[in-house]
């Protein structure tokens, strides 16, 4: 039987996580970022599934050879995940293994669900890796701004689309206060509108996961690269490790990461099916 853990018991999963696995899993288990955890045994779990709080995916962790857990996964999907997903208009299940031994298990358990797959790259940047000579020059109409409580409050209503930034933060964090205390970020403003953001999506220990988004009309203007540089500089100043997770086919993200000095630490496979 698969049960959902209370948040107070998430720490029981610490020893089951792959130290070289995804940052997101650690961030949820440490209760820094929101999420739900389903396990085989409430008191002494050996296998589990994390549902990321930003609805961006599911992570299988622990023992992949737990037949009782594996046999119950489709029931969990049908009876718990799908009804909850419909409430938040989530249409796809995107799952990954916290270690690669999960890959054949995921493929086998969900083979009847028209399973698709893709490849992810994980990059990190530490002291000594940074290539600071690649900072681009952007049009003077674009203003760089560090994200602060004052900016988010927007009491003077100077930012016309502040909801864009607020919703980005709320997707990853339980509150803006927690984001401001645990994470950080920068944005670019153009004519009183935020057009590009770079924030800490997930955080665990001294590792900060980067989330970047640029409004389509302003893409191709080196805004993401500019933000990434400032984000990395802030990380290095605080002895944090910048962590970048992107799809292998996302060539613009790969190019920015490698140009700045990020090193590809590992790959992992993602699996998807419609809910």
- 274 pLDDT higher than 90: yes
Express as a percent the part of the chain with pLDDT over 70.
Answer: 100
Beta-strand runs (E) in 135-206: 142-146, 185-190, 193-204
User: What is the mean predicted confidence (pLDDT) over 98-102?
Assistant: 97
Beta bridge partners of 272: 94, 116
Element (H, E) at 162: helix 162-172
User: What is the mean predicted confidence (pLDDT) over 156-173?
Assistant: 95
pLDDT at 127: 86
User: What is the mean predicted confidence (pLDDT) over 258-273?
Assistant: 96
pLDDT at 126: 86
For 209-222, the pLDDT digits (tens) are: 999 999 999 999 99
pLDDT at 204: 97
CA distance 112 to 206: 40
3-state secondary structure of 80: helix
Per-residue confidence band for 165, with pLDDT thresholds at 50, 70 and 90: very high
């Amino acid at each position: 039987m698969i049960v959902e853990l209370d948040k107070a018991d998430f720490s029981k999963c610490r020893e089951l996580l792959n130290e070289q696995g995804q940052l997101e899993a650690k961030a949820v288990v440490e209760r820094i970022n929101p999420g739900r955890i389903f396990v085989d045994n409430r008191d002494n779990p050996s296998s589990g599934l994390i549902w990321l709080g930003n609805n961006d995916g599911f992570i299988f962790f622990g023992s992949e050879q737990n037949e009782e857990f594996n046999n119950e996964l489709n029931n969990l999907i049908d009876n718990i995940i799908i009804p909850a997903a419909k409430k938040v208009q989530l249409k796809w299940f995107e799952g990954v293994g916290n270690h690669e031994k999960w890959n054949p298990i995921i493929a086998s358990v969900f083979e009847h669900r028209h399973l698709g797959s893709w490849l992810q790259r994980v990059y990190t940047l530490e002291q000594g890796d940074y290539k600071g000579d690649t900072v681009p020059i952007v049009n003077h109409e674009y203003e760089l701004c560090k994200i602060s409580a004052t900016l988010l409050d927007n009491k003077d209503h100077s930012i016309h689309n502040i909801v864009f930034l607020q919703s980005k933060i709320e997707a990853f964090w339980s509150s803006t206060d927690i984001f401001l205390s645990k994470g950080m970020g920068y944005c670019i403003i153009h004519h009183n509108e935020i057009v590009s953001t770079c924030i800490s999506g997930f955080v665990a220990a001294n590792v900060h996961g980067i989330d970047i988004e640029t409004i389509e009309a302003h893409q191709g203007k080196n805004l993401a690269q500019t933000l990434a540089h400032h984000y990395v500089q802030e990380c290095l100043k605080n002895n944090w490790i910048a962590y970048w997770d992107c799809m292998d086919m996302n060539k613009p993200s790969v190019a920015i990461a490698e140009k700045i000095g990020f090193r590809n630490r590992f790959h992992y496979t993602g699996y998807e099916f419609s809910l």
